[in-house]
Every structure is written in structure tokens, then in C-alpha cells.
Amino acid sequence: MTGGAGAGSVRIVDHDHRTMRIALDAAQAAAERGETPVGAVVVDPESGEIVAVGSNSPIGSHDPTAHAEIVALREAARKRGNYRLTGLTLVVTLEPCAMCAGAISHARIARLVFGAEDPKGGAVVNGPRFFEQPTCHSRPLVAGGVLADESSVMLKTFFRERRG
């Protein structure tokens, strides 16, 4: 699957898989801390540099905004000395929610790559389709479905274990 019409779409490339593996490792680290297993990576597509890695941490940090995407965007902005992350790619294991989509837009991320879709809480190809709204500041190119099965299995296993 590639991204929504209003967001633009891009072909999935080999480095998306390599970067998603790093995001999956970050998601696993979140799960081991009892956080929902979502991981995110900000990468410079020109150099291949991993600028920042984030994982969900709202429980441990007592911060409802500490989604993996926000954690990674904050670290990347700090490292770059600028909240605008123009030209960078964000790779995340789960379709971003509306809050994260807004932050992605404000950060001017050039490209968003995500794994599993989130029919309940997603805001890119599901729900409000944030990047298709006329009030959206900046629209990244979107590629979805990268290692989606692995992301989905990790989430389902996490929640199954918590319930049972």
C-alpha cells in the first residue's frame, strides 16, 4: 500500500525496510518497558544518517504526548537545532494518530513511512486523513505497509499478553 492521494505517494525502497527494522527494535524496547510497542526513526535520506530514534513512553514519562513519533521528532529537532526537519524522513511502525500527524506537518517532514495501519486511531489513511485537509501546513509523501505484518503481530501479541 502506498499513501493517500492528498498526501502524495512514493514507492517503498530498500532503505525503508532497513530503517523500519530499527523502528521495530525501538518498538520492542517500548514493549519491554510495558509501553505500547511503537517505534519511530528520523533519517536523512541523502546520507542515510539515523538522526533520532524514539519509542512510545507516555506511561514511564508521565507525558501523554510521548508517542514514538513525538519523541523522535523532538530529539531530531534538538540535534539539528531547528524544529523544521525539512528533507528528512520519519519511519514509524504504526500509522500516526492526529496529534502525531500534526507534529509531522509542523516539522515539515518530507516523507513518512509507516508499517501497520491503525483503523481505530490512525489519521493518515484512516480517520481524519490529516494530510488531505486543506488546513494542513505541510504534506509529506507517504508510504504505508512497510513490514506491516511484523508491526501488527508485535502489537497484537503485546495486547493479548496484557489481557490474558
Choosing from 35, 69, 95, 117, which is the catalytic residue? Answer: 69
The answer to whether the beta carbons of residues 92 and 39 sit under 8 Å apart is yes
DSSP 91-156: EEEE---HHHHHHHHHHT-SEEEEEE--TTT--SSSTT-GGGSTT-S---EEEE-TTHHHHHHHHH
Instruction: Verify whether residue 132 is a known catalytic residue.
Output: no
Active site residues: 69
